[in-house]
Amino acid sequence: MTAVLDTEGLTKRYGRRSALSDCTLSIPSGHVVGLVGPNGAGKTTLLHLAVGLLQPTSGTIEVLGSRPAESPAQLGRVGFVAQETPTYEALSVADHLNFGAWLNPSFDAEMAGRRIDELGLDLRQKAGHLSGGQRAQLALTLAIAKRPELLILDEPVAGLDPLARRAFLQYLMESVAEHELSVILSSHLVADLERVCDYLVVLVASHVQVVGEVEGLLASHYRLSGPRRDPSSLPSSQEVIESSHTERQSTMLVRIESPILDPAWTVEEVSLEDLVLAYMGRASDAGRVQRRSGRAFR
């Protein structure tokens, strides 16, 4: 099966600042992919490269086996909901449905109309007068009604209150189940994605830190605690992601390939949030070292 997203050394630079550095990824289809990272990590850059709103400085990117935005057909296979879900303020909800229908040959107008009905949106309402949650739902409806194979959402729930957030994600998951979509959605909060994602990409400071199925990641990361010990003395099959030490005790979050045999350790499972935070912490420590040595620009 072709990958939904396949990148090779993908890099985007603005002047001397790197927004995305040497990103190599291959995400299989049929997943709901969470793209997590702090603000400014390059999430939006990666997603914009994937929908063809940006061109890479170097490296290659393929989405569903083709160059992003290379043809109307390719554009039709990818749905996109941009950050802050932009809509045409002066145009009504009905105009937006027409917009979707006129610009997408595969647009399912009946489904979109039904969805707008369910949401209780007034067709004559100007999009500029919708609440953030309503606007997000409208944008999502447009993106899903064009019947894409892959749906890409950039921070879709960032501006929404908890209730709107739940409704949005619920509709998203219903659509995924109904239309067998692959989804990539980004957020700076793991908690937003924990319930919906089965695949994770962590992006920090323009570099990809970790990629994989959530289940596999949780099965290969553990928190070890035991007598104080130098992290570098661990076996090579155990990669230390995060460590903290008190006078007598060490706690480490490690990635392992084989079972832990050392009886000195107490082994605990980690949550997805802990895992992501550990990778983010490691990356920003590395960033700080780089900054101090004056090599990193940002």
> Which of 273, 274, 239 has its CA nearest to residue 258?
239
Q: Are 78 and 149 in contact (CB under 8 A)?
A: yes
Segment holding 53, helix H or strand E: none
Which residue from 2, 24, 58, 71 is in contact with other proteins, where contact means CB under 8 A?
A: 71
Does 157 contact other proteins by CB under 8 A?
A: no
The stretch near other proteins (CB under 8 A) out of 28-36, 99-107, 227-235, 281-289 is 99-107
Does 108 contact other proteins by CB under 8 A?
A: no
Q: Measured between alpha carbons, how far is 44 from 135 in angstroms, rounded to an integer?
A: 19
Does 124 contact other proteins by CB under 8 A?
A: no
The stretch near other proteins (CB under 8 A) out of 6-14, 52-60, 115-123, 196-204 is 52-60
Q: Which of residues 11-50 bind other proteins (CB under 8 A)?
A: 48
Does 202 contact other proteins by CB under 8 A?
A: no
Does 172 contact other proteins by CB under 8 A?
A: no
Q: Which of residues 132-151 bind other proteins (CB under 8 A)?
A: 139, 142, 146
Does 78 contact other proteins by CB under 8 A?
A: yes
Does 207 contact other proteins by CB under 8 A?
A: no
Q: At its nearest, how many Å lie between other proteins and the CB of residue 229?
A: 50
Which residue type is seen at 72? P
Does 94 contact other proteins by CB under 8 A?
A: no
Does 52 contact other proteins by CB under 8 A?
A: yes
Helix extents (H) in 78-224: 93-103, 109-119, 132-145, 162-179, 190-194, 214-220
Q: Measured between alpha carbons, how far is 261 from 35 in angstroms, rounded to an integer?
A: 33
Q: At its nearest, how many Å lie between other proteins and the CB of residue 283?
A: 27
Which residue from 2, 26, 55, 266 is in contact with other proteins, where contact means CB under 8 A?
A: 55
Cα 57–Cα 59–Cα 60 angle in degrees, nearest 5: 110
Does 129 contact other proteins by CB under 8 A?
A: no
Which residue from 28, 38, 59, 76 is in contact with other proteins, where contact means CB under 8 A?
A: 76
**Lookup result for tokens 């990629």:** 211
Which residue from 22, 38, 40, 53 is in contact with other proteins, where contact means CB under 8 A?
A: 53
Residue 102, CA distances (Å) to 76, 136, 175, 257 in order: 12, 20, 22, 52
Q: Measured between alpha carbons, how far is 282 from 264 in angstroms, rounded to an integer?
A: 25
Q: At what angle do helices 109-119 and 132-145 cross, to 10 degrees?
A: 160
Does 57 contact other proteins by CB under 8 A?
A: no
Q: At its nearest, how many Å lie between other proteins and the CB of residue 206?
A: 18
Name residues whose C-beta falls within 8 Å of residue 65's C-beta, 6 or more positions apart in sequence.
2, 3, 6
- How would DSSP label each residue in 94-110? HHHHHHHHHH-TT--HH
Of residues 3 and 99, the one with the C-beta less far from other proteins = 99
> Which of 191, 178, 179, 133 has its CA nearest to residue 160?
133
Token pair recorded at residue 177: 């189940």
Does 95 contact other proteins by CB under 8 A?
A: yes
> Which residues in this chain contact other proteins in the complex, by CB under 8 A?
48, 51-55, 69, 71-73, 75-76, 78-80, 82-84, 86-89, 91, 95, 98-100, 102-106, 139, 142, 146
